[in-house]
Amino acid sequence: MEKSDSKTKSFKDLVVWQKAHAFVLNIYQQVKIFPEDYQALVGDMLCESATAIATNIVGGYKKKDREEKLLFLTTAQEALEECRYYITLATDLNLLDSFQAEELENNLNEVSYLLNSYARSIRRRKEGDSRKEDDSRD
């Protein structure tokens, strides 16, 4: 599903980043239509948490240490859950209608799935590396 880091030239090659970035752009478009007094409150928090998903994917991309890379991806997943809350809040405050909220949730679910898959593939590679080290010690 995801290309491994060794086969990519840039974080932009990662499908998970592409989907996260598209989500960020969508969030910014939605927030533009918030009333001005809510843009500075809910809108800014929503934009910040959405952007944190993509920036943490970028932050972990070039890390050689797989634990460090996974830490960035965990932080991205935490930001994703914050986004989920802010979408709920924006909906409850009638800043987003149910159709907009559902579309954002669907996009978020796709990013979450890809993020989890990417992290799982890194964990598998890490476990494979550990087994190779153990075998070389025998």
Which of 58, 56, 61 has the alpha carbon at shortest distance from 81? 56
Residues 6+ apart with CB under 8 A from 14: 2, 3, 8, 57, 61, 118
Cβ pair 112, 20 in contact under 8 A: no
pLDDT tens across 73-83, in order? 999 999 999 99
Q: What is the pTM (predicted TM-score) of this model? A: 0.86
Which of 25, 83, 30, 92 has the alpha carbon at shortest distance from 53? 83
pLDDT tens across 87-131, in order? 999 999 999 999 999 999 999 999 999 999 999 999 998 777 666
